[in-house]
């Protein structure tokens, strides 16, 4: 089925100029739509859209979010952030024992190192303290919500 028939079957002719649709196909919709990739709007080909904006927004690689709650103002790019990662540990108070003791919680954990390990430590056994965020939150190379990729197009005429 070609993209024009798909759009017509969804009632796209009633969409207002400037409305954004999520497109799940690799083929482009009709030339009534411009991909939201920051491109300039041709004022001769799309005069109504040009009156609204001179460039379509660039929505590649960003998540669109409903206005309200903790969102930024309309049309403003909000930088990424993660949930707060917390944990705690207790340090022994006698000055000689540098182990964390108990309890350890959240992102902190501890392992025992015997004498002669890679840190030397004059032959004295010691504890290594680690911080691992994946013990508290899902971890990846980026911050992201659960997602599926789409292409965003704007009704241009």
Predicted pLDDT at 19: 96
Q: Are residues 20 and 38 in the same domain?
A: yes
Q: Are residues 117 and 151 in the same domain?
A: no
Other C-beta atoms within 10 Å of 15: how many? 16
Q: Are residues 76 and 146 in the same domain?
A: yes
Q: Are residues 4 and 73 in the same domain?
A: yes
Q: Are residues 123 and 151 in the same domain?
A: no
Would you state the structure tokens that stand for residue 36, as one six-digit string? 């939201």
Q: Are residues 2 and 68 in the same domain?
A: yes
Query: Residue 112 and residue 52: Cα distance in Å, rounded?
Result: 65
Q: Are residues 41 and 104 in the same domain?
A: no
Predicted pLDDT at 118: 56
Q: Are residues 47 and 118 in the same domain?
A: no
Q: Are residues 16 and 76 in the same domain?
A: yes
Q: Are residues 115 and 41 in the same domain?
A: no
Residue-range definition of the domain harbouring residue 154: 1-80+142-157
Predicted pLDDT at 49: 97
Given a contact cutoff of 8 angstroms between Cβ atoms, the answer to whether 137 and 13 are in contact is: no
Q: What is the pLDDT along the chain (157 residues), one digit of tens a residue?
A: 455 555 544 444 689 999 999 999 999 999 999 999 999 999 999 999 999 999 999 999 998 989 998 889 998 988 888 878 887 776 655 555 555 556 678 888 877 766 555 555 566 666 677 888 888 888 888 878 888 999 999 999 9
In order, the DSSP letters of the chain are --HHHHHHHTTGGGPPTT-EEEE-SSS---TTEEESBSPBP-TTT-HHHHHH-SB--B-TT-----SSTT--STTPPPPP------EE----SSSS--S--S--EETEEEEEE-TTSTT-GGG--EEEEEE-GGGTS---SS---S----EEEEE--
Query: Residue 107 and residue 149: Cα distance in Å, rounded?
Result: 31
Predicted pLDDT at 1: 45
What CATH number is given to the structural domain containing 9? Answer: 3.90.1340.10
Predicted pLDDT at 21: 96
Q: Are residues 33 and 103 in the same domain?
A: no
Q: Are residues 26 and 92 in the same domain?
A: no
Structural domains counted in the chain:
2
Q: What is the pTM of this model?
A: 0.65
């Amino acid at each position: 089925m070609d993209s024009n028939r798909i759009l017509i079957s969804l009632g796209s002719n009633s969409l207002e100029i400037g409305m954004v649709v999520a497109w799940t196909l690799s083929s482009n919709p009709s030339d009534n739509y411009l991909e939201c990739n920051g491109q300039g709007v041709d004022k001769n080909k799309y005069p109504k859209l040009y009156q609204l904006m001179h460039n379509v927004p660039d929505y590649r690689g960003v998540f669109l979010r409903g206005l309200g709650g903790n969102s930024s103002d309309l049309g403003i790019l909000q930088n990424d952030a993660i949930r707060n990662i917390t944990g705690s540990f207790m340090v022994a108070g006698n000055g000689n024992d540098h182990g964390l003791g108990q309890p350890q919680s959240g992102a902190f954990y501890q392992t025992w190192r015997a004498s002669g390990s890679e840190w030397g430590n004059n032959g004295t056994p010691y504890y290594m303290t680690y911080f691992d965020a994946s013990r508290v939150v899902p971890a990846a190379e980026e911050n992201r919500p659960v997602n599926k990729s789409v292409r965003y197009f704007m009704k241009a005429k």
